[in-house]
């Protein structure tokens, strides 16, 4: 798991960094941070903009989700609800604590309490979608054959060869250059020949 310093560094130069969010603790079940209530974050003189409180909470919920993701997966906020309870005055330190309400395979829900002077200023509940790791085309293709018998693999490969031949022919029809078109048609013939061999092996021809 990433260290607190490493997580803090991921904010550098980005919106959370401009807000001045400082992580205090970060783990899979609790994320805490502080933020100075600067004048430039106000909506009225002396009053912090509600959007700044929401952004603080959203940042913590996102980091909490990230700390629970499988390698390569990512997340983004898909829903957020905020209740405001007290004025957040400028010049004060805002402290936020995010804890999970739900940690699932597809979504996670985090609730963040934003306090100032020991009083609850806002309560934010957000839903994060879990985006699975993207796989390379070769890995996707390999996964299609996992768990299949040799005969089933041959049948599937024959189908892919036939589909490949059809794609080559479609490309050839749209290709204006004669030499390239001829090469595409030759490739289609090779795909069809491969499919025929596989189909004979499986009794499908």
Predicted confidence at residue 202, as pLDDT, reads 83
pLDDT reading at 27 higher than 60: yes
Dihedral pair phi/psi, residue 24, rounded to 5°: -105, -40
Residue 4: its pLDDT value, please? 94
For the chain, the domains span: 4-131, 137-202
Give, to the nearest 10 degrees, the angle between helix 150-174 and helix 137-145.
Answer: 140
pLDDT at 205: 53
| 92 in Cβ contact with 37 (< 8 Å) | yes
CATH numeric code, 4-131: 3.10.129.10
Helix 178-202 / helix 150-174 crossing angle, nearest 10 deg: 160
Exposed (0-12), middle (13-18) or buried (19+): which is 176, by Cβ within 10 Å? exposed
Mean pLDDT check: name the lowest of 28-32, 33-37, 117-121, 134-138. 134-138
Cα–Cα distance measured from residue 2 to residue 67, given in angstroms and rounded to the nearest whole number: 8
State yes or no: pLDDT of 17 exceeds 70.
yes
CB atoms within 10 A of CB 112: 27
Q: Which conformational region is residue 128 in: left (phi greater than 0), alpha (psi within -120 to 50 degrees), or beta?
A: beta
- Token pair, residue 86, equals 């007290």
Residue whose structure tokens are 């996964």: 143
pLDDT at 132: 86
Per-residue pLDDT at 121: 98
Q: Which two tokens stand for residue 67?
A: 């700390």
DSSP-derived letter for residue 132 is P
pLDDT of 109-142, one tens digit each? 999 999 999 999 999 999 999 998 877 777 777 7
Mean pLDDT over the full length of the chain: 93
Q: Specify the pLDDT at position 180.
A: 95
Quick: pLDDT tens for 166-195. 999 999 999 999 999 999 999 999 999 999
Contacts for 51 with CB less than 8 Å, ≥ 6 apart: 43
**Range with the poorest average pLDDT among 29-43, 85-99, 136-150:** 136-150
Least confident of 59-63, 66-70, 160-164: 160-164
pLDDT in tens, 66-107: 999 998 899 999 999 999 999 999 999 999 999 999 999 999
**pLDDT score for 143:** 77
Element of type H or E holding 80 = strand 74-84
């Amino acid at each position: 798991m990433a260290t607190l310093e490493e997580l803090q560094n991921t904010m550098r130069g980005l919106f959370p960094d401009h807000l001045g969010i400082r992580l205090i603790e970060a783990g899979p079940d609790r994320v805490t941070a502080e933020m100075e209530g600067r004048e430039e974050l106000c909506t009225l003189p002396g009053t912090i903009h509600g959007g700044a409180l929401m952004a603080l909470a959203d940042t913590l919920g996102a980091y909490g989700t990230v700390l629970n993701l499988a390698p390569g997966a990512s997340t983004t906020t898909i829903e957020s609800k905020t209740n405001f309870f007290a004025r957040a005055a400028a010049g004060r330190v805002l402290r936020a604590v995010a804890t999970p309400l739900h940690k699932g395979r597809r979504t996670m829900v985090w609730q963040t309490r934003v306090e100032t002077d020991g009083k609850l200023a806002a309560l934010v509940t957000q839903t994060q979608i879990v985006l699975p790791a993207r796989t390379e085309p070769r890995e996707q293709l390999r996964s299609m054959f996992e768990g299949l018998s040799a005969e089933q693999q041959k049948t599937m490969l024959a189908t892919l060869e036939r589909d490949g031949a059809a794609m080559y022919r479609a490309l050839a029809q749209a290709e204006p250059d004669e030499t390239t078109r001829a090469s595409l048609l030759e490739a289609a013939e090779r795909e069809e020949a491969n499919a025929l061999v596989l189909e004979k092996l499986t009794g499908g021809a």
